[in-house]
Chains A and B, each alone.
Chain A
Amino acid sequence: MANQYGGWAGKVLRVNLSTRKITLEDTVERYLDVLGGTGIGYKVLWEEVPAHVQPFDAENKLIFGVGPLAGTGVPCNGRTAVTTIFPTVSPMPLVGSGHMGGQFAARMKYAGFDAIIVEGKSDKPVWLHVHDGIAEIKDASHLWGQGIVRTESTISQEIGQESAVASIGQAGENQVPMAVVITGRSHSAGGIGGIMGSKMLKAIAVQGKMPVRIAADKQKWENLINLHRSLLGANNQHVVPSFPHPKSEYFNPGSRWVGAPGKRWGAATPAVTLTDDIYSLNRISFRTNNAAYFLGDETWKYTVRGNGCHSCPIRCHTVIKDPGIAAKYGIQELAQNTCVGLIYGRSFFPSLAKDRGTPGREASFVGMHLADDLGIWCNYGQLQRDFVRLHKEGIFKQKLGAEEYASIPWKKCDDGDPTFLFDILPRIANKQGEFGEVLGLGTGPMLKRWNLDEEKWGADKDTAYWKMGHPKHHANEDDGQCGVVINTQYNRDAQCHSHCNFVRSGLPIHEQKKLAEKNWGSADAVDAVGEYTPTNIYKMRRAKWAIIRKELHDSLSICNWMGPWIASPLKERGYAGDDTLESQLFSLATGHTLSRDELDKVGERIFTLHRALTIRGMNQVNMRKEHDQSPEWIFKDAKDKPAFSKGTIRMDKADIEKSLDLFYEVMGWDKTTGAPTAQAYKQLGLGYVADELAKGGLLPK
């Protein structure tokens, strides 16, 4: 059955750590309607994990899922989705997913599996060795208590380097909710670590040489891959360089395409000078240097090379080397990470939070060294923002006992001394004291435990808090109402990039408007940042498209930090990408031909399953009132500029309510509650979901 299709490995592995029973399922037979990745995750949770289950219960499940494109040569397919009852959602645990890149997705396919479902709880430390179509539960007593670096390298040494290992550190072992699982040294999935720890699962290693078949004619496939390659920009699909260049019509200083001619990978052996052919497809990997982008221009000197996921030419993780810092702090010379992972360390220090020079880099090196070994999640920077605010407002002083407060070297924090991190991060990983315990909980439970007002926490723009324990993630600061509505829909930070990969591509607004007209029927589907206009149906069509594509990407295995490809660097195409890429890639890889709209329907099914899980988990049908909330800060402006005036990202309350009206309308949901109607479920083949919700009175009237 499975072999009739290309793309999928064809099997799903199910491991019960309580009974040590290992079983196999046929991917296509059971999960064709949800593709893979988060789709499989949501379906398993819906069918098998009842609403009352808590994150660290044995009944909670972890679904490591990839899709039919993982392991292939599709650019940017390296992310594994890990779906579970997420541990940092408040006021009650709800469905969520963490995502990690690296080699794991591809190697899991080559090991023969599209997903690994972990159930139950082991009574002693184990690791799971998945290889060549089988799995073995192995003793991990020698690894328990060790950091991630040692765990990953020890297993790789044992089983060979053609493998990928995802493991947890001390934070995960101690069931800290704010814990990650990490693979390939720096690719982490937030929130998953503690759940692995609760199951006493130290690591999963995947390994094998089972091929992934491409169903289509190989010439057609090669042509499509080459088209796709030509549409790529730099990281986050920034399609214009950050610097002026004779070959570029536009440039945009905010772009992550920073690889200007003459810049150097200064710590390569020997150093590499970037060349002038910035548009060459054989130089794509020179465009992005996120270490330089986030840590400052000086970091070029310490750059060894780009790194990143299997099959991805972008290389958003940068490898940096600084023997001076290593010697000064007694840490490794090499570090690698991307985005907020890079600035993890410096963000704890008010004086260094924006420092792009040596002090900031030092703190960041130390931060990466500790966080990626202990396995502490930052919740997209919320951990550090919470910390800074708790410190600034004297809340630590109030809430910690005098003795504990005095035991923390606050002066180091105020002085911007990176060794402060050696003190505080292990406290969090080891749940040491009230301080360690509370910071490891996540924002929601932290506010509750210390009796702090959530509304107040969300009133301040700098804290960037959104709701339910999690921060904003590309909201109105990037994309007006579209960003806001997307941020209302998830239970953790939205993690959606479909929208901002387009509006932040670096193209000037008039070019964006041309593309918007083509894709969503009107140039009004997009505004320039800080020049927002009142909401309209086109914006909400774009919001729907963005969310559906995110779920599609997480289920097919396409990186939503790069796609969809609405824009491209190609002037000769009017900077257009190709919105049918996903469906073309899917159809050629699997041989199961679906048009763009048909595949989008599948994405909508997957997202609607997420919605149903949320409704069931909250036991609440009124999503508009109880779930789809926005924080106060988005309705304010420091200079009190009114919403829709130039230079503000301020939103208008009535306009956001209207946006939700329109959004629910384009989703075919009930306008009053924002819940899908029985009809909406049925149209997506989710009649069984509607039936179950009906029994609990969880369908809109």
Chain B
Amino acid sequence: MSSKDAIAPMEATMEDSPEGISRRGFIKGSACVLTGMAALKASEAFGAEKPWFIIMERASGMIVGDPSLCVACQRCELACTEFNDGKADPGLTRIKIGRNLQYGPAGALGTEKLGLWGNSLVVQDTCRQCPHPVPCSTACPHNAIIAQPGSGTRVVDAERCVGCRTCQMACPWGMMTFNEDKGKADKCFLCNGKPKCVTACPSGALRYVPWSDRTKTSPPRGAFLLQVPESKAAACASCHVAAPGGPRNPLQNPVPNPLFTPAK
């Protein structure tokens, strides 16, 4: 995961040719954006600053947890950081159980008490591999959170990440993590298609499944701050314009998901 080539950038600057973007399989579900943008010269549309597309290819897979099966062992967390990073690192783990053990996601002050002091259910917090507008990726001023080629998994490109932690504030579910040793953000990259947490779970409480949109149905975890850096605001504005019938919705009629391959 370290080489830049391994994670080809799935976004492109406006200066890239439309063909080039298409070849990388970027635009699939959002041809209207491409058409709309291509009609303008980048420099005319957004001035001198290098603008970015912010619509990413959909992710193909994700991890789902079943709270009624979870036995709170945290072996998933340990597999995540020991097998990927060579250390047991409760701050870095990209699946999060430990923070829900005693009261659940709503915490001690929430109204619904789960976990040890509530109904004993343990919620596994997993990355939703969000659809547009991917909050962590959108917020990153350095475009360091990108869709992995072939899978669309939202991953951090460590070479671009400057460690500003803006993404951590943006994720509504607190799923961005940080590798303090490296000074870089990190997040669930689905172990490149072979999720180690799923393999490690002794209770069958985690599954690696084709992506579906879980972002609309789960409440955020605490406060978050979705930021749109200036460099990207213009790209937002290209779709989200006042128009008869409302803004165009590039994500209507999403295409089926040919990329998902279950882990062995």
Contact = CB atoms under 8 A, between A and B. Distances in A.
A211 B81 contact: yes
A153 B119 CA distance: 14
Interface in A42-100: 71-73, 75
Nearest to B79: A73
Contact of B71 (A211, A308, A334): A308
Contacts of B103: 156-157, 161
A161 B108 contact: yes
Contact of B120 (A71, A305, A313): A305
A211 B91 contact: yes
Interface stretch (A236-244, A264-272, A430-438, A453-461): A264-272
B82 A225 contact: yes
A161 B73 CA distance: 15
Interface stretch (A276-284, A396-404, A478-486, A593-601): A276-284
Interface in B14-54: none
B108 A157 contact: yes
A659 interface: no
Interface stretch (A213-221, A362-370, A558-566): A213-221
A72 B100 CA distance: 19
Given A157-B108, A270-B68, A214 B82 contact: yes
B20 to A, nearest CB: 36
B87 interface: yes
A270 B72 CA distance: 17
Nearest to B107: A161
B203 interface: yes
Contacts of A285: 71, 73, 202-203
Contacts of A103: 98, 101
Given A162-B90, A281-B202, A73 B82 contact: yes
B75 interface: yes
A629 interface: no
B87 A212 contact: yes
B88 interface: yes
Contact of A156 (B81, B102, B200, B202): B102
Contact of A162 (B73, B85, B98, B202): B98
A225 B116 CA distance: 28
A513 interface: no
A184 interface: yes
Q: Is the interface of B mostly helix, strand, loop or mixed?
A: loop
B191 to A, nearest CB: 11
Interface string B101-116: 1110001110000011
B90 A110 contact: yes
A211 B88 contact: yes
A562 to B, nearest CB: 13
A275 B36 CA distance: 53
B90 A218 contact: no
A311 interface: yes
A315 interface: yes
A162 B78 contact: no
A27 interface: no
Contact of A315 (B73, B109, B200): B73
B69 A272 contact: yes
B70 A305 contact: yes
B102 A304 contact: no
Contacts of B254: none
B214 interface: no
A222 B83 contact: yes
A349 to B, nearest CB: 28
Contact of B202 (A184, A217, A283): A283
A209 interface: yes
B202 A161 contact: no
B196 to A, nearest CB: 8
B5 interface: no
Contacts of B102: 153, 156, 161
Interface residues of A, number: 54
A306 interface: yes
B115 A269 contact: no
Contacts of A305: 68-71, 120
A185 interface: yes
Interface in B242-264: none
Given A162-B99, A307-B72, A209 B91 contact: yes
Contacts of A160: 107-108
B181 interface: yes
Nearest to B118: A334
B90 A161 contact: no
A466 interface: no
The residue among A72, A214, A304 with the most chain B CB atoms within 10 A of its own CB is A214
A322 to B, nearest CB: 13
A73 B93 CA distance: 12
A213 B68 contact: no
A158 B74 CA distance: 23
Nearest to B68: A268
A528 interface: no
Could you say which of A72, A110, A222, A334 has the most chain B C-beta atoms within 10 Å of its C-beta? A222
A126 interface: no
B163 to A, nearest CB: 16
Contacts of A334: 119-120
B74 A319 contact: no
Interface of A: 6, 71-73, 75, 103, 106, 110, 153, 156-157, 160-162, 184-185, 209, 211-214, 217-218, 221-222, 225, 229, 268-270, 272, 275, 280-286, 304-313, 315, 319, 321, 334, 336
20 contacts: A156-B103, A157-B108, A161-B99, A162-B98, A212-B88, A214-B87, A214-B88, A218-B86, A222-B82, A222-B83, A222-B196, A282-B202, A282-B203, A285-B73, A305-B70, A305-B120, A310-B73, A311-B78, A313-B203, A336-B120
Interface of B: 68-75, 78-79, 81-92, 98-103, 107-109, 115-117, 119-121, 180-181, 196, 199-204
Q: Which 10 A-B pairs have the closest CB atoms?
A: A313-B202, A73-B78, A209-B91, A211-B89, A161-B102, A284-B202, A157-B108, A285-B203, A218-B86, A212-B88
